[in-house]
Amino acid sequence: MRLMKAVWIFLSSAGLMLLLDLLFPFRVEPHYSTLVEAADGSVLHAFLNQEDKWRLYTELSEISPTLRTTLIQKEDRWFYYHPGVNPLALGRAFFTNLSRHQRSSGASTITMQVVRLLEPRPRTYLSKGIEILRAFQLEAHYSKDEILQLYVNLVPYGSNIEGIKAASLLYFQKPPEVLSLAEVMALTIIPNRPNSLRPGKSNAYLQQERNRWLQRFKEKKLFDSQTITDAMAEPLTAKRVAAPRSAPHLSLRLKKEFPDTPILKTTLQRSRQATLEKLTYNYASRLKAMNIHNAAVLVINNRTMAVEAYVGSSDFNDNSDGGQVDGIRAVRSPGSTLKPLLYATAFDAGLLTPKSVLYDVPTNFQGFEPENFDQQFHGKVSVEFALANSLNVPAVQVLSELGPAALIEKLRKAEFRTIRKQSSKLGLSMILGGCGVTLEELTTLFASFANQGQFSKAYYLQQPEFHNPVSLLSEEATFLINQILTQPIRPDLPNNYAYTYRLPRIAWKTGTSFGKKDAWSIGYNAHYTVGVWIGNFSGEGVPELNGANIATPLLFEIFNSIDYNSTAQWFAQPPGLSHRKVCVETGRVPSAFCTHSVEDYYIPGVSSARSCEHKKRVWVDIRRRLSYCPYCLPETGAEQVFLPNDPPQLTQYYENRHIAYEKIPPHNPACTRVLRNASALKITYPVEGSTYRLSRKDQTRLALTAQATSDTKTLYWYVNDALVSSTTPQQSVFCQPAAGKVKISCVDDQGRVQTVGVQVSYE
């Protein structure tokens, strides 16, 4: 009967405890500070929690055996044996306090202290009773190690410091797992009297109390006698220091993205981050005399795609120049930095090979007339020359043939977010910087060239989400780009580059945005890809700002720092790439009239096998003063020769600059059946379908220009079918047509005609 009663009482009590636990759950939700760690586990950056306290999360692995033993022996020797409350200690404290008529002992276990730290209450007997019940709850839901972990995370150290990890970092500048016995003992006794035992202000007294407790441990033989003797002799030099503040831009970024994660383990290399922060700061300081104030640097390990250095600005604390702006994520104009992707895409499309010839001459692309950075033109150039020299007109020519949609699709695959938003508005100007990109996107894109065309997203946190690499470009195309961008003789080599003697072999591309607002230099080798941006966060342009002389020197300094004198093997030629002879004049497969050839790379089955057409058969008289078509070819006195088959824009370039070239003689004037070849005549301005607003007050006029073949001597211009002027092909005509729809026609002296329609209005 008594047994049944006891069982009933036990079950009733258990049921009551379970009901109370359900009705009044104990919520363990401490607010921790955010801690950002480097790849080696060292602390890069620490933040106050939402209560403005330094409460850094201590992991179980950071509780060393020395810390565990010292803490338990001092605070709660029976911690691993009681259910949250020590009945003997509680009874002894009750009678002691009762006999002395004052509260002299609380008998709080570590579990009870955790309850009090989580739910502070006035120190009354009622509060003690609630504390005991909560201690049972805590023990029912958490293991002993988890409760100990909560204690070391919450224990107060005075001021706004809570937890052993915060105290260890702020007082001893080291994590808790490497603290010595003397340091552990000091941190263990501070919470009892945080005001009188504050490190840095009362070190002598703290050392005295520390040694008193160490002597107790020696008497109890808790540690080896010599170990304790050495600990007692260890000087106490603790003082409060500022929390670590390295990699502030990435730290703020990660804190915002992961607000509830107390420890963010990054891929940053601590020493490398510190070195590049200082390097960038010093370099940017030298540029301030030129009114250039900001810089940003990103370093990616090509093998892992882990970010090893992240410098968002040259000086985070410089509020006057926007130091807290993250230049790695700021959307800026890319200048010419997208050209390698364009040419690689053209290689994969079979349009070009490195020796293919393009025309760097004044050209109108439906109203868009690009110019080169140096405002010069170079005539016929190869693809490798055009890319190495970052020529603008050839790049626009290639994009025009390829189509903007093809390049936009590549950028979408490379996760260019702004490009995705702007895609419907982008045209040919995007290749010269007419779009928005970030340093993060550009640097990750260039890492694809170091990874055989495979795009993988760069990551900042250890154990990232796995993403399959995306095939962005072929291995063959990336190899060709790597070869071109490694050429040392090029205009974007800095003026002062003597210090680069030990520079590892790298490929790099520079860029300068319109208005001299952004200077870029992105470089890579087998080990690393480094992105550098320099400019002003305010958007102010500077005449001296350019990628070659402003951004590239910093790029070279960084490579000398992270990969100094590297002998890493360069990218090997892929088996899918072959060589062939091509005509020097066009870069195409030689024809019968090609006299000079050169060896070129090509991708079998992909690269165009089109034969060279830089010359054509022409019937001329013996003195080569007239040319004949099949309708006017005389029976005698004519011969067939090969003459240049240059496009109109090239011949016009030669004519305007008085460059000697071999011309096709004028057509036989007696011919009555001239072939009407409209493609030999092209109106370059105005542009078909465009609207032009003129001013009668300022007497602004509409310019009329055209491109014609070398055998054309005269052009006739008609506005609304009325003749307005006759000129040479090199001259422009200016007119003020009537408002409304206007028909403009151009006729050459051989009868070829082209017509465009535009809309004209006046203000």
Active site residue ranges: 75, 336
User: How long, in residues, is the chain?
Assistant: 763
Q: Tell me how far apart the alpha carbons of residues 711 and 665 are, in angstroms, rounded to a whole number.
A: 6
Cβ-Cβ contacts under 8 Å for 758 (sequence gap 6 or more): 686, 687, 688, 689, 690, 691, 692, 741, 742, 744
Of 340, 363, 374, the closest CA to residue 508 belongs to 340
**Which residue do the tokens 């977010």 mark?**
417
Taking alpha carbons only, the member of 184, 509, 488 closest to residue 336 is 509
Helix (H/G/I), strand (E/B), else coil: 159: coil
Q: Is 758 helix (H, G, I), strand (E, B) or coil?
A: strand
Give the burial class of 729: count Cβ atoms within 10 A of its Cβ; 0-12 exposed, 13-18 middle, 19 or more buried.
buried
Other beta carbons less than 10 A from residue 508's beta carbon: 25
* 718 neighbors 747 (Cβ within 8 angstroms): yes
- Coil, helix or strand at residue 399: helix
Residue with tokens 């399959």: 468
Q: Decide: residue 79, CB within 10 A, 0-12 exposed, 13-18 middle, 19+ buried.
A: buried
Determine how β-strand 702-708 pairs with β-strand 733-735.
Answer: antiparallel
**Assigned token pair, 255:** 């804190």
| Cβ contact 671:629 at 8 Å | yes
> Helix, strand or coil for residue 502?
helix
Token couple for 56: 């850094």
Calculate the CA dihedral of residues 542, 548, 550, 552 and round it to 10 degrees.
Answer: 150
What's the half-sphere exposure (Cβ side, CA atoms, 13 Å) at 271?
A: 3
Kindly calculate the radius of gyration of the chain based on its CA atoms and give it in whole angstroms.
Answer: 39
Closest to 211 measured CA to CA, from 179, 240, 238, 183? 183
What span, in angstroms and rounded, lies between the C-alpha atoms of 335 and 411?
15
